[in-house]
Structure 1
Amino acid sequence: MPGPKDLDPSSSPRALLGAELRHARENAGLSQDALGEKLFVSGSFIGQLEAGTRRMQPEIAARIDAILGTNGFFQRNCEAANRSRYPDHFAEAAEAEAVATAIKEYAPLLIPGVLQTEAYAREVFRAYRPTATEDVIDGLVEARLARARILADPTKPLLWAVLDEAVLRRRVGGPAVMAEALQHIARLGRAHRIIVQVLPFEAGAHSSMGGALKLMAFDDAPPLAYLEGPGAGQLHDDPATVKHYELSYDLLGAGALSPRESLALITSVAEDYAHEDRHP
């Protein structure tokens, strides 16, 4: 029987690699749990590889080839499947985000990437990389705006964001940039495309004071939790760990303003910035 063909990097390599893994596993008569046991990983991890929500690392690929007798196919195609325009610490989370059916995100300092305007994103990246060339900044902004295309579908994914009040008050790029950025979020909220809540300063201590939190759910793979800090990120798939962060998110929502109150506050702050821009 001929082996699988090498993947075309111009197509959707992660999804194709996952589909080939499922095909090879089923041909070998192995369940996800059985293959996971041989690889010393969980069955849910195998499911995430097959769904394209997790990266297949070269060492895992080599062991898969050995177990399934796929003649080096997965090891050869790992590089194509793992190419990304995003930083290494965020690439896997960004690619999972693109296929998620539901995303819940707590943002302590910055507007979430998928909700940023071009001007806001440019200011953020310029602050991160003050000596970078304009071409580099342009590339980073383009990649960030590309993530927002997941909102082009009018119904999916479900996007629920809890914004710390600091997100509204921190002047990224000045009043004009902030007015546009907050008006954009308010428009999406009023159009019922996203759910947004604001966690006010007076809420005090809360369940996610350690930093940003993103939860992602999928149709055909277990959920993931992503924690991000400066230049670093952790993607978690352990069910108990994900459940812990789901509770943290639920508590954030319980302590935040209602969606209606939040939209009113976001709109009001945006109007304040717009007035300030017109009358400096």
Structure 2
Amino acid sequence: MARGKQQDAWVFFGELLKERREAAGLSQEELGRRVFVSGAYIGLFEQGIRKPQKDVARRIDEVLQTGGIFERTWRKLIDKSPYASYFTEVAELEAVATKLCEFAPTVVPGLLQTAEYARAVTIAANPFATDAYVEEKVSARMERAAILQDATRPEYWVILHENAVRTPVGGQTAMAAQLDHIAAMIRQRRVLVTVLPRAAGAHAHMTGTLKLMEFADQPPTAYTETEFSGTLLDDPAVVKQAQRTYDLLRVAALSPEASLALIQSAAEDFRRCASTT
């Protein structure tokens, strides 16, 4: 998969880090110990696979005596990202994941959104935004979704709460098209979608979205997001707990066949409503 300009910039960040680290005569393990991360993480930073948090970039500057170059570069790269600061690294990780598992309680996940749906969501959250701002966000979301069209696309599992299926985001016609898109992706076997029905009642994850990511050459991670913030989770014990939560959601959901039937039925309901208004 071709890298975008943002990813190329992080690769440059990593190459600069390796150059300065070696000039200081430090191994990855030694630098990691001094900035309170593992040597393996330093290696991932140097490859451009992972992005350090701001405080880690600052500590690297202090240890390598760089005059603040890594913190300044970090700020510049984050500012250039079309995503919220807490989501920038997640978007980059999606592109290199071998498997994604996602739970969406209220909104269709970004990787499955149509442009019209994404536009409606963006405007709802930013009612005074300019057209240019809205289209930038929509374009970024469509660019993310392109990974599902790639020959090396990740295995993608999604659990949609029925609320996300039944809410007419963008209007009846737009929502019918959104559900048609999801159904087509299912039939093309690009995603495995199940629906958690409203009748299931209380469920294992009641506080926002949940995303699990697996990789070929690094440990799995989990990501949770609420309305105003998101958290990337690396601790193995926490990731294991998140995986168990996802398993509980999966057993409470409808079968793939019943889920597809519900999605198609909901699309027809929206179309029928649109034709009578």
**Normalising TM by the smaller chain, what interval?**
0.7 to 0.9
Moved more, 54-63 or 170-179: 54-63
Letter of the 2:56 partner, please give it.
Answer: I
Q: 1:18 aligns with which of 14, 20, 41?
A: 14
Partner of residue 214, structure 1: 211
Alpha-carbon distance between aligned partners in 2 of 1:277 and 1:62, rounded to the nearest angstrom: 54
1:184-243 CA-to-partner distances (Å, cap 9, x unmatched) read 001000000111110111222211112110111222222221111112111111111111
Q: For 2:204 and 2:7, how far apart are their aligned partners in 1?
A: 41
SS at match of 2:97: coil
Aligned-partner SS, 2:160? strand
When residues 75 and 110 of structure 1 are mapped into structure 2, their CA distance, relative to the original with a 3 A threshold, is: closer
Query: Counterpart of 1:266 in structure 2: which amino acid?
Result: I
Q: Is the 8 A contact 2:28 2:40 kept in 1?
A: no
Q: In structure 1, what is the Cα distance between the partners aligned to 2:173 and 2:15?
A: 46
* Matching of residue 35 in structure 1 with residue 26 in structure 2: no
* 1:4 corresponds to: none
Q: Which residue of 2 aligns with 1:269?
A: 266
Contact 1:121 1:141 in 2 (8 A): yes
Residue from 210, 222, 225 that aligns with 2:222: 225
1:64 to 60, 63, 70: 60
**Native 8 Å contact 1:225 1:236 kept in 2:** yes
Q: TM-score, normalised by structure 2?
A: 0.87
Q: 1:168 aligns with which of 165, 168, 180?
A: 165
Q: Supply the AA of the counterpart residue of 1:210.
A: T
Structure 2 residue 68 is the aligned partner of structure 1 residue 100: no
Structure 2 residue runs without a partner (length 5+)? none
Q: Tell me, what secondary structure is at the counterpart of 1:105?
A: strand
The answer to whether structure 1 residue 197 and structure 2 residue 186 are counterparts is no
Separation in 1 of the partners of 2:22 and 2:159?
41
1:54 lines up with 2:50 in the alignment:
yes
Alpha-carbon distance in structure 2 between the residues aligned to 1:99 and 1:275 = 40
Q: How many residues align?
A: 271
| Alpha-carbon contact 1:17-1:81 (below 8 Å) kept | no
TM-score by length of 1: 0.86
Q: Displacement, 1:73?
A: 6.0
CA contact (8 A) 2:28 2:43 kept: no
Indicate the residue corresponding to 2:106 in structure 1. 109
State the SS of the aligned residue for 1:257.
Answer: coil
Using the TM superposition, give the Cα deviation of residue 79 of structure 1 relative to its aligned residue in structure 2, in angstroms. 3.9
Q: Percent identical across equivalent pairs?
A: 45
Gaps of 5+ in 1: 1-8
1:63 Cα deviation after fit: 3.6
